[in-house]
Chains A and B, each alone.
Chain A
Amino acid sequence: MKKNEYMNPYLAGFFLGLLLLVTIFITGRGLGASGAFKSGVIATVNSILPSHVADTRYYTEFFEEHKENPLKSWLVFEVIGVVIGAFASGLISNRLGFKLERSPSVTSRIRIISAIFGGLLFGFGSQLGRGCTSGAALSGMAVMSTGGIITMIAIFGGAYAFAYFFRKLWI
């Protein structure tokens, strides 16, 4: 493969679909990402303020299902793998390097604020929606879950609906 070039999207999608199928075949459930963020947040809060975790309902509900260290979870290990795999891909295709990517029409300051605020909304929404683009939308589509497919439509529909108002961030 030539450097800096991306894979054909249909081929990449086919490989991603096969990986998802293999994941379901081996583990009985699909891929995810926001679940690892949740584990990360819970582990952080638990190490700083364990007493607060013990009397906050969202955390106690989590620990009812996860007896062990929140970081010793399938999704946390999967996301560590994502970091390794993406880094390897970036290395092979010569795309490594620190960069604050932004549209030339916005300042770095605006890009930083939009990244924090967008992340905040996505993080919050992923908890409310019980999963993100990976765990709810993509994996939900693979198993034809009604909830997963509705979340998928809401994510993409919502993004399209709001895109006009934030066009100056990108174009």
Chain B
Amino acid sequence: MDIKKGILLWLPLVPDIIGNELNLIVALFIGIAFGFILEQAGFSTSKKLVGLFYGYDFTVLRVFFTAGITAMIGVIAFGHFGILDLNLIYVNPTFIWSAVIGGIIMGLGFVIGGFCPGTSVCAAAIGKIDAMIFIAGSFLGVFLFAEGYPLFEEFYKSGFWGYPHMFETLGMSQAAFAVLLTVAAVVTFIATSLIEKE
């Protein structure tokens, strides 16, 4: 913990307050909640997941963007009120080329396989055999990447931009970006519900 401007900035709790062993127990409980929510939302069926890409089921979009916006606003608010030190939380690095190409390959895998890694585990847990097969395929994909790594390493590490936030990359304030993203999400929610009615 460190004290700045009279405000107690704690977190993150790990590793200072929560030790490593307890952290794994925390991971287990967070995972239980994660799996429960994903399954309740309907992420345990490939038909529902790919429905987004064929315009017959927008569940993924609604759950995903509501979750992302909720967490983002929470992170900003916690930072604002000094509950969370935003300088200490993990921000994914930006390797521009591997982010774009890796993402496109994942998108292709999504429409062919019908799952992403988290949802495949969720679906396999309730007995979906196609999800179990998808997981086996994923292991194979990770293995192939690992074995072929010398071929991909240069590309994998190219285009490193550091650890920027999107609002910095776009040259706007954090608040403006948060409002813009929230408005974009709400507009998308309304638009998809109109599409659904037709």
Contact = CB atoms under 8 A, between A and B. Distances in A.
Interface string A67-80: 00000101101111
Interface residues of B, number: 128
**Interface SS, A side:** helix
Nearest to B153: A57
B75 interface: yes
Contacts of A57: 149-150, 153
A107 B54 CA distance: 20
A101 interface: yes
Contact of B71 (A99, A114, A124, A142): A142
Please classify how large the interface on chain A is, using the bins under 10, 10 to 19, 20 to 34, 35 or more. Answer: 35 or more
B37 interface: yes
**Interface SS, B side:** helix
B156 A159 contact: no
B96 interface: yes
Interface in B97-155: 98-131, 133-147, 149-150, 152-153, 155
Nearest to A44: B139
A144 B167 contact: yes
B125 A143 contact: no
Contact of A128 (B113, B156, B165): B156
B35 A81 contact: yes
A30 to B, nearest CB: 7
Interface of A: 6-7, 9-10, 12-34, 36-38, 40-42, 44-45, 56-59, 72, 74-75, 77-90, 93, 95-103, 111-112, 114-163, 166-167, 169-171
